[in-house]
């Protein structure tokens, strides 16, 4: 069991983000101590690790919520969850390709200016 501050530290999310994710239903079933303080489990941290990946790769919150809903519904939603992740992976791949092209263009410009400086 982890205190909210420890869950935030381990996940890289702020305490406000953890509260927000719980409020919108992205995180569900967060335990509470007898005094009402939230406590996070290893399973919760696993979810947060996945949410970190999805967020960092640009998945909209609405899709993250949809994925979490499907997961809570059970194994019969596995195909739909897989499809959702595959669609996201395609978008990530397209973004990576765009970034690679833009990076190459940037490096080309840098080489151009290096050539000017050497003249």
* The dihedral sign for the CA sequence 94, 100, 104, 107: positive
Taking the model in full, what pTM does it have? 0.81
Domains contained in the chain, CATH given: 4-118 (1.10.1660.10)
The predicted pLDDT at position 65 comes to 96
- Separation of alpha carbons 119 and 115, rounded Å: 6
CA 24 to chain centre: 15
Write out pLDDT tens, residues 16-59: 999 999 999 999 889 998 998 999 999 999 999 999 999 999 99
- Separation of alpha carbons 104 and 101, rounded Å: 5
- Separation of alpha carbons 55 and 90, rounded Å: 15
- How confident is the prediction for the chain on average, in pLDDT? 94
> Does residue 119 register a pLDDT over 80?
no
**Residue 29, φ and ψ in degrees, nearest 5:** 70, 25
């Amino acid at each position: 069991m982890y205190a909210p501050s420890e869950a935030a530290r381990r996940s890289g999310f702020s305490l406000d983000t953890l509260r927000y994710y719980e409020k919108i239903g992205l995180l569900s079933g967060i335990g509470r101590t007898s005094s009402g303080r939230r406590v996070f489990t290893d399973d919760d941290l696993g979810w947060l690790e996945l949410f970190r990946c999805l967020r960092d790769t640009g998945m909209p919150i609405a899709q993250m919520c949809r994925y979490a809903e499907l997961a809570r519904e059970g194994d019969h939603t596995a195909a739909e969850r897989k499809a959702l992740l595959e669609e996201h992976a395609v978008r990530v791949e397209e973004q990576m390709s765009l970034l690679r092209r833009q990076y190459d263009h940037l490096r080309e410009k840098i080489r151009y200016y290096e050539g000017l400086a050497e003249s």
